[in-house]
Amino acid sequence: MERINSTTLMLILTITMLSAVLLVGNRFDAKWAGGEGYEAHATAIVNDNLYSRGEIISSGDEWLEVNFDNTKILMYKDSEIKLVDGRPNKLEVSLIQGRIVVIGNLTVSTRDVRTVVDGTASIVHYSWLDQIEIVSIDGSLKLYRDDRIEDFSGKALQTATLSPYTDEEIDFDASTSSASDFYDWAL
């Protein structure tokens, strides 16, 4: 077997070290590694408890008010969200199940649908259904599905969370909803 000379060994070690440095830089989104630059993630506050990116917030048998940067997420009972991204202007949660009201600027992902709210909206998702109900109460609301962006500002909609997407406009009246007491509190 042939021995590796010192020049070849140094070349292999250099390439390995550069690869490792680039991977670490990429993991922390460093600009020199092709990322957007590191930004601190906001924490969510619920009743003086802090939640960080990746954590799940469950409302249990009560309603919760979640303060996430400059956005309020009001959760109906038996609802769950996961904090996905807390970077400024990129706030995102995943609605696992339940009903929420968003006041502010937030992206809410539910399976393959991303709902971008800039204003006030209600979103309902029950985990056993492949559907969500989205109500744009005030401001703008856009849905991102596959490669499409659709504006549903000012509308109430029931849509599938998985392809093929089916949309159906629905009537929404907070005062006659089965959760009218929640909407009285949230709005």
In which band, very low, low, confident or very high, does the pLDDT at 51 lie, cut at 50, 70 and 90?
A: very high
As a whole number, the mean pLDDT across the chain is 90
Residue indicated by tokens 């204003």: 119
Q: What is the pLDDT of residue 4?
A: 75
Q: What is the pLDDT of residue 97?
A: 95
Asked whether residue 174 carries a pLDDT value surpassing 80, the answer given is yes
pLDDT digits (tens, 9 = 90+) for 59-93: 999 999 999 999 999 999 999 999 999 888 889 99
pLDDT digits (tens, 9 = 90+) for 143-157: 999 889 999 999 999
**Whole-angstrom distance, CA of residue 80 vs CA of residue 42:** 19
Class of residue 140 by CB neighbours under 10 A (exposed 0-12, middle 13-18, buried 19+): middle
Percentage above 90 pLDDT, the chain: 66
Mean pLDDT, residues 11-27: 87
pLDDT digits (tens, 9 = 90+) for 120-134: 999 999 888 889 999
Q: Is the pTM of this model over 0.75?
A: yes
In which band, very low, low, confident or very high, does the pLDDT at 1 lie, cut at 50, 70 and 90?
A: low
Q: What is the pLDDT of residue 38?
A: 65
Domains of the chain in sequence order: 1-38 (no CATH), 44-186 (2.60.120.1440)
Asked whether residue 34 carries a pLDDT value surpassing 90, the answer given is no
